[in-house]
Amino acid sequence: MDAQETLEKPTQETFDADKYVGKLIALKDKIKELEEEHKKKLQPFNDMKDKLERTILGYLIEIKAQNFSTTKGTASVLHRKSASLEDPQAFMDYVIDNSAWDLIDRKANAKAVEDFIKEHGVQPPGCKYTDALHLGLRRK
């Protein structure tokens, strides 16, 4: 498959589904092949980057500093925090029983909103529902 190949827009009469699906699969295969090659070529660089990051972070921890500055740049200790639920029901019970709403993020459930729209013919108040089309493709 040539990435520079031009495709004429077919009409309903000239559309060859087998041809276009075959071309798309070949293109996806080529992209995957190139991504794997790229990943392999990058691996030694990523490994060295990880080692350097661990070394610098270890030094910052050892000297009990949050950052240091050099002529080349500044290194800082960053905190990436996450909170996963080991027992979702216990967590929700606590939030509800204690009105601890600040412990949760509010967001609409897309499937539930879709069902609501189907049932009521309108979106729930304050909600914006979208449904975008994408092409799905499976191999045989």
Q: Do 55 and 95 fall into the same domain?
A: no
Q: What is the domain range of residue 13? A: 1-80
- Smallest Cα–Cα separation from 59: which of 47, 71, 75? 75
Average pLDDT estimate for 45-69: 95
Residue 135 lies in a domain: no
pLDDT tens digits along 81-136: 989 999 999 999 999 999 999 999 989 999 999 999 999 999 999 999 999 988 78
Tell me: pLDDT of 2 over 80. no
37 and 73 in a single domain? The answer is: yes
Q: What is the pLDDT of residue 7?
A: 82
- Whether pLDDT at 34 is above 70: yes
- Which of 22-31, 69-78, 127-136 shows the lowest per-residue confidence on average (mean pLDDT)? 127-136
What pLDDT is attached to residue 1? Answer: 61
- Is 3 found in the same domain as 67? yes
Is 0.85 surpassed by the pTM of this model? no
Between residues 6 and 44, the one the model is more confident about: 44
| Tally of domains in the chain | 2
